[in-house]
């Protein structure tokens, strides 16, 4: 297959790379670019561990081809953490919102989008927003609390 050159903004930096037309964004981020916060949990859009922001909107990077992000902007958890932690990240720490932590990168990206769109969500809105991000460890309660608490700081 013929390789394609794509250029996009990754966590604030312009990147140009060669990919195959059927390369999945998640794997390209992880293996070609060393961006490992987005995780493989299912590879078919069911679990949300691979969630990243595409032009500010949360998407599942396991369902997107790398060529699709040509000319766009991608933000991963690494991008949020660059200078200092966001109030949302601080709140996740305060509320002990992780156990194994594998769902965290996707969960935080989804919550970041939520708080941007809706800075003061209700508990129901928080539950609804993260319902596509599976967590097997925490039972979600501490995550919901962290997001609600963080929303007070926006």
Partner 1 sequence: MSEYKFIGKPINRIDEKDKVTGAAKYVDDINFGPNLLYAEIVESPYAHAKILSIDTSEAEKVPGVVKVVTGKDFPYKFGLYMKDRYIFAQDRVRFIGEQVAAVIARDPKTAKKAAKLVKVEYEPLPAVFDPLEAIKEDAPIIHPELASYPHVPWYYPHGGTNIAHWRKVRKGDVEKGFAEADFILEDTYRIPRYAHCCMETHIAVGFVDYNGRLTIWASSQSPHTQRHLIAEALRPLGFTEQNIREIVPYVGGGFGGKAGVTMEIIAAALATAVKGHPVKVRWRRDQEFYNTYMRQQVITKLKVGVKKDGRITALERTDYWDAGPYVEYGANVVNAATLSATGPYNIPNIKMDGLCIYTNFPAAGPYRGFGYSEIMFSIESHMTRIAKALGMSPREFRKINGIKEGDPLAYGAPMNENGLIECIDKVADAIKLEEKEESKDPKKAIGKGIAALWKAPAMPPNVTCSAFLKFNEDGSINILVSGMEIGQGMYTVMAQIAAEILSVPPEKIRVELPDTDRNPYHWQTVASHSTWLLGNAVKRAALDAREKIFDVVHRALNYEKDHLYLEDEKVKCTTDPDFELPLKDFVINGIMMEDGTYRGQAIVGSGSIMVEFASALQDPETSQGGHPNVHYTVGAGGVVLEIDKETGRVHILKLAEAIDVGKALNPETLKGQLIGGAVQGIATALYEDMRIDENGKILNPNFTDYKIPTSLDIPDEFIPIFVEVPQHDGPFGARGMAEHVMIPVAPAIANAVEDAVGVRVKAMPITAEKIALALLHGKKEVDDFFMAPTKKKEA
- Tell me which residues touch ligand FES (CB under 6 A): 40-43, 45-50, 60, 62, 98-103, 135-138
3-state secondary structure 117-137: HCCCCCHHHHHHHHCCCCCCC
Binds 75, which of ligand FES, partner 1, none (CB < 5 to 8 A, cut-off by type)?
none
User: What CA–CA distance (Å, rounded) separates 100 from 68?
Assistant: 31
What angle (nearest 5°) sits at the alpha carbon of residue 144, between those of residues 100 and 89? 65
Q: How many residues bind partner 1 (CB under 8 A)?
A: 50
Considering only residues 64, 140, 150, 151, which one is a binding residue for partner 1 as defined by CB under 8 A? 140
Residues 33 and 74 sit within 8 Å (Cβ to Cβ): no
Part of the chain binding partner 1 (CB under 8 A), chosen from 2-10, 36-44, 65-73, 113-121: 36-44
Residue numbers at the binding site for partner 1 (CB under 8 A): 30, 34, 36-37, 39-44, 46-47, 49, 76-78, 81, 85, 89, 92-94, 96, 98-105, 108, 126-128, 130-144
């Amino acid at each position: 297959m013929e390789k394609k050159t794509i250029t996009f903004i990754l966590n604030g930096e312009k990147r140009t790379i060669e990919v195959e037309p059927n390369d999945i964004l998640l794997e390209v981020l992880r293996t070609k670019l060393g961006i490992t916060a987005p995780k493989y949990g299912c590879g078919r859009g069911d679990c949300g561990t691979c969630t990243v922001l595409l032009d500010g909107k949360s998407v599942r990077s396991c369902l997107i081809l790398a060529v699709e992000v040509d000319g766009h902007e991608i933000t991963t958890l690494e991008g949020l953490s660059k200078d200092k932690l966001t109030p949302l990240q601080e709140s996740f720490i305060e509320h002990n919102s992780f156990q194994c932590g594998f769902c965290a990168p996707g969960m935080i990206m989804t919550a970041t989008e939520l708080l941007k769109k809706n800075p003061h969500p209700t508990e129901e809105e928080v539950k609804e927003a993260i319902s596509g991000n599976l967590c097997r460890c925490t039972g979600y309660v501490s995550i919901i609390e962290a997001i609600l608490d963080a929303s007070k700081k926006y």
